[in-house]
Structure 1
Amino acid sequence: MNSIKIALCQMNVVDNKEKNIEKAIQMIKESKEQGADLAVLPEMFNCPYENEKFIEYAEELENSQTLKEIAKIAKEENIHVLAGSIPELERDDENETESIYNTAVFFDNDGKQLGKHRKMHLFDIDVKGKIYFKES
């Protein structure tokens, strides 16, 4: 029977995209060194989990600094990577609108994007006097 070794990467995300990308790359390298075939990065690994930061850090997938770096390291390290998620910016020039999605992207070990998934069930919470967050 064949087996696959999966590395689940958890990181402390900071308010600095470049530092978060560097940390993700480091974790992917460490995953490969430990024999992983697939590294899985956390949700919103390149930005703080805050609505305002989603807007600030959002990237179009086709021109994403974050995803270019992840694709490059996947190829260099010969490892599959599930890029947990990033805030994806989608522009509709025809209607002059912009939307932001919580999007995960999957790369093969040659750095090729195999697919993406936009989060469907968004997180909302409102506990009076304690916490309020509306991802939707």
Structure 2
Amino acid sequence: MRAALLQMTSSDVPEENLATASAMMREAKSEGADFAFMPEVMNCLSTSRSRQNEVLRLEEEDATLPALSALCAELGMWALIGSLGLKTHDPDGRFANRSFVISDKGEIVARYDKIHMFDVDVTPEETYRESDGYRPGDKAVVAETPFGAIGMTICYDVRFGALHRSLAKAGAQILTVPAAFSHVTGAAHWETLLRARAIETGCFVIAPAQTGTHATTRGQARRTHGHSMVVAPWGEVLADAGTEAGVTIVDVDLSLVQKARRQVPALQHDREFDGP
């Protein structure tokens, strides 16, 4: 598989972000990519609930999803829409943070709602309460594709090893970690966490990321870490996109999954235990 990581600096204007992602997909296709991977909340990165309420839509009414699906069909290319912020029918009005796998026919193959919510105080000045605006998912998902089975996660999920292990044991060969990672925690933990998830599961990890300072029409501007990465099953970093927005192309050899799992068959060595 030739993978294209689309590193974006999404604003809070969905139409602008769609145009950017579409241009990047066309560039990726011109470089021979089979599969495009986009970051978290690629349609609208915003700290303002009022702005999100203004521009986000229900899945069935959203414009980004059908436009990117149609582009996949036009280009004959698969895509991971890292996630879209979407309205839901939940009584409390919270949004979904939902990832999609789209086929080269433009069909939705899988959906995954982010399970773990980023409710943290990184510094006194940088705090997040994702669960105030987004409701967590409760179902792990493995998507079947011609290139291999993909275990779907989103951003903060990367800190929860049990989720990734369960995806690998369910057949995943690739783990996707689309993200809008904090520039503070990203500098400290991003690469280490991605490499750990690859090593402990024997999976490829493909992590397309948001980067830079995000333009905003309302609310406080966010900064994200960038450094979209592909990590091989043995833990080697095959690509690091740095901090500039753009397209990174990586050839992924899935035979390395079985090689790593033969060398260290840890997925077969789980044991029940008591305590502590």
TM range (shorter): 0.7 to 0.9
C-alpha distance after superposition, 1:39-66 (max 9, x if no partner): 0110001112425244333221122101
* Residue 96 of structure 2, aligned match among 101, 121, 124: 101
Question: Do 2:29 and 2:75's aligned partners in 1 also have CA atoms closer than 8 Å?
Answer: yes
Go from structure 1 to structure 2 and tell me whether the alpha carbon gap of 1:35 and 1:129 turns closer, same or farther (over 3 Å shift): same
The question of 1:55 aligning with 2:50 is answered no
Q: Where in structure 2 are the equivalents of 1:86-97 lying within 5 Å?
A: 86-92=84-90, 97=92
The question of 1:45 aligning with 2:42 is answered yes
The question of 1:5 aligning with 2:13 is answered no
- Residue 36 of structure 1 is matched in structure 2 by 33
The one-letter code of the counterpart of 1:17 is: P
CA distance in 2, matches of 1:48, 1:54: 9
SS of alignment partner, residue 41 of structure 2: coil
* Residue 121 of structure 1, aligned match among 116, 123, 141: 116
Which range moves more in the overlay, 79-88 or 49-58? 49-58
Go from structure 1 to structure 2 and tell me whether the alpha carbon gap of 1:106 and 1:51 turns closer, same or farther (over 3 Å shift): farther
Unaligned runs of 5+ in 1: none
| Amino-acid identity (%) | 29
Please provide the CA RMSD for this pair.
Answer: 1.7
Unaligned runs of 5+ in 2: 132-276
SS of alignment partner, residue 59 of structure 1: coil
TM-score with structure 2 setting the length: 0.44
The question of 1:132 aligning with 2:127 is answered yes
Give the C-alpha shift of residue 127 in structure 1.
4.3
Question: Do 1:88 and 1:101's aligned partners in 2 also have CA atoms closer than 8 Å?
Answer: yes
- Residue 27 of structure 1 is matched in structure 2 by 24
Question: Do 2:7 and 2:39's aligned partners in 1 also have CA atoms closer than 8 Å?
Answer: yes
Go from structure 1 to structure 2 and tell me whether the alpha carbon gap of 1:33 and 1:128 turns closer, same or farther (over 3 Å shift): closer
Go from structure 1 to structure 2 and tell me whether the alpha carbon gap of 1:97 and 1:124 turns closer, same or farther (over 3 Å shift): closer
CA distance in 1, matches of 2:62, 2:83: 12
C-alpha distance after superposition, 1:85-130 (max 9, x if no partner): 01121115xxx55331110111000101111000001112214532
Q: How many residues matched?
A: 130
TM-score with structure 1 setting the length: 0.87
The one-letter code of the counterpart of 2:56 is: A
Which protein is bigger by CA-based radius of gyration? 2
Which 4+ residue blocks in structure 1 deviate beyond 6 angstroms? Answer: none
Q: Which has the higher strand share?
A: 1
Go from structure 1 to structure 2 and tell me whether the alpha carbon gap of 1:97 and 1:38 turns closer, same or farther (over 3 Å shift): same
CA distance in 2, matches of 1:99, 1:134: 12
